[in-house]
Chains A and B, each alone.
Chain A
C-alpha cells in the first residue's frame, strides 16, 4: 500500500501524525482543530485545483498563478464597487472573476505557447512582471466605493479591503452544520467539492482525455489530429479561471481581499499542497489536489500552536520551510 503513496505524501503524513499527537498532548481542543482544518481545506482547495489543468497539459506547475489571482481580485473589486452584498455579491464576484480570468488566461496561454518547454520559469517571471502593473492599476483605477479607497488620501484602493459589508463568509456560514461539536462549513466544502468533481468529470470525458494526451505525448496527439496549441491555451485559461475563482473562495472565508503584492504569496503553498497530494508531471488530478490540500493545510494549522505549546517556535517554522521547499525541489528532481 505504502508503495503507491509518493515520498512527499509519506513524509508529510508522518510529520502530520507527530504534530497531531503533540497537539493533543498539549491539550489543544480537538473539535476546534477539526473545524478549523475543514475550513482551511475548503478555503484553499480551489486554488490548489487550479494547478491541475496546466499540469495535465504538460505545462508544468503554474507559477504564474498571481495572474489568475489578480483576475479574481478584480472580479471581487468590481462586485464591491457596485455595492452588491451577500450571495448576489459573491455570485457577481465569481462572474467577474471568470470573465477577467478568461481574458487573462487566454493571453497567458498564448505567451506560454511561445515559451514552450520553459513554462514554469516563464510563469514565475510573468507573475513578477504582472504584479507591478496591477499595483499601478489598483492605485489609478476609478473605483468609487469609499469603503474600498485609501482612508487618508481617497485615491486608489486600500491594500486590504474588509469583506464584512459585502460577502464575507457567504459560503462558510451558508449551511453551517455542527456534528459532534465540530463546526462544519458545509457550504464552503460543497462549493469546493462541486468544482473538484467537475474538473475530475471533465478529464474523464472524451474531450478531457484529449487534454491529457497533449500532456503525455505531444507527437501522438498531433497524429490524432488534436490541436496541441489550442488545448494548451485552453488549459492555461482553465487554470487561470480556477485560480480567479479560488481566490474569491479564499477571500470570502478569510474576510479580506488583499491587493498589491499579496497576490504573489498564494503560489508556493498551493504548489506544495498539490505535490504533497502525490501529483507528478504524469499524474495530476482533482484527487491529488484534495488529498494534498487536506494534509498540507492541516499541517499548517497545527505547526504554530504546537510550537507555542512546546516553546520551540523557530524549530517548527524552520522545519515547515524545509518541508515546503524540499517537496517542490523533489518534484523538480524527479523529472
Chain B
C-alpha cells in the first residue's frame, strides 16, 4: 500500500516535471504574442496521402513549440467516432487556440460543432474538408479549397492552348454524385462547346464500390489506347480521382496525349512513380528541382508541352498556408484572412507562387483558389 502511494507520488512529480519542461520553451515565443498558444493540424496518414502528412510534419518541425500534428484513421468513414474524439480531445489543452483539418473527406462537422460548444474561442480552418459548404461556412472560421467549379473552365482552356481538340472526362457514379464534381463536369462540357472542342464522358468501374481502385486502373489501361485510337493524340485526358493518374500519365507518355491538369494538381503524385524519379535527400521537398526533373523526362520522351500542372502540390500548399494563417491570426488580430487580396499576398510571401483566391458562392469565409500553371 505504502509502495503504491510512493509510486503515485513519484509519478506525480515526474509528470509535473515533464509538464514544466514542455511549457518552458513557449515562454521564449514571439514577443508580440500575448501568451503561449498551440495550433493542431490533422491530416490523413502517410500511406493514404503523403502530401498532407508531410505538410503537417513540416509545420510541426518549423514551429515545434506551437504546432501539434495528428492523423485520422485510414478508413475514416468506418471510424468516424475515433476521429471525432481525437478532435474533441485537442480542445482539452487550454493553450490550444486553433485547429486545422486537412483531409479530402467529409463528416468532420459534428466534431467541429462539439468543440465550438465547449471552446468557442478555438479557431477552425479547413484545408480542405468536403462537408456541405453552407454548413461549413456556418461552423468553420475559414474554409480553404481549390476552386473546383472555375477549374472546369480553366482546365479546358489550358488544354485547348496545349493543342487539345477532344476532352475526355473519366469518372464514376459515386464521384459524379458529388455536387462540385458534377458542376465542374458541366462547366467543362460548356467550355468545350464554347471552344468548339469535342467533350467525351467515360464512366469507369467505381473504386468506392466493389472491386476497388485496381478495377478502375485496369479499365483505364485498356480504355485509354481505345479512345486515343478513336480521337487521336490531340486529346486531353482528365480523371476525377487521384489514383487514376498513375495510369493516365503512364499511358500519356506511351500514347502521346495531353494531360493539362490533374484533379489534385501536384508534381509529387503520379509523376515520380511513372517517371521513376530519383529524388536525392537534399532535394526532398524542393519542388523547383522536382519540376525540372519532370520537364527533362518529358523532353526526353517527346512530351514537351503535353503535360502540365501546378508548380507546388495544392495538397501541401493549403495545409501549410492554413497553419501559417492560423498563427498569423492569433498573433496579429488585425490580419484579415477572409480578404482575398490579403490572403493572396500572404501566400505569395510564403511560397513564392501566384495564387488567385475567390469567395465561393459569396460566402465571406469560404475561399477557393487557383494556382498559376506550369507546363512541362
Contact = CB atoms under 8 A, between A and B. Distances in A.
Given A147-B276, A151-B279, A158-B272, A301 B205 contact: no
B276 A150 contact: no
Contacts of B205: 304, 317
Contacts of A258: 214
A301 B226 CA distance: 13
Nearest to A272: B211
Interface secondary structure of B, over-half rule: helix
Interface residues of B, number: 50
Nearest to A259: B47
Interface stretch (B89-97, B129-137, B189-197, B217-225): B217-225
A162 B203 CA distance: 25
A176 interface: no
A146 B279 contact: yes
A321 B278 contact: no
B277 to A, nearest CB: 7
A159 B49 CA distance: 9
A225 interface: no
Given A152-B285, A152-B316, A164-B276, A317 B206 contact: yes
A266 B212 CA distance: 10
B280 interface: yes
Interface residues of A, number: 47
B188 interface: no
Contacts of B213: 262, 265
Given A138-B47, A162-B276, A313-B173, A154 B281 contact: yes
A113 interface: no
A34 B50 CA distance: 39
Contact of A265 (B214, B226, B273): B214
Contacts of A158: 50, 272-273
Contact of B57 (A139, A147, A153, A269): A153
Contacts of B14: none
Given A152-B284, A164-B274, A301 B246 contact: no
Contacts of B225: 32
Contact of A154 (B217, B246, B279): B279
A145 B225 CA distance: 31
A143 interface: no
A161 B172 CA distance: 25
Given A139-B47, A265-B214, A307-B203, A153 B54 contact: yes
Interface string A264-298: 01101100000000000000000000000000000
Contacts of B272: 151, 158
A104 interface: no
A305 interface: yes
Nearest to A297: B218
A301 to B, nearest CB: 6
A304 B219 contact: yes
B26 interface: no
B202 A139 contact: no
A304 B46 contact: no
> Most chain-B Cβ atoms within 10 A of its Cβ — which of A32, A156, A256?
A256
B280 to A, nearest CB: 7
A149 B278 CA distance: 8
B235 interface: no
A150 B45 CA distance: 13
A15 interface: no
A165 interface: yes
A305 B226 contact: yes
Interface of B: 46-47, 50-51, 53-54, 57, 74, 172-173, 202-206, 209-215, 217-219, 221-223, 225-226, 229, 243, 246, 250, 268, 272-281, 284-285, 290, 313, 316
Interface of A: 28-29, 32, 36, 135, 138-139, 145-147, 149-154, 156, 158-162, 164-165, 254-256, 258, 260-262, 265-266, 268-269, 300-301, 304-305, 307-308, 313-314, 317, 320-321, 324
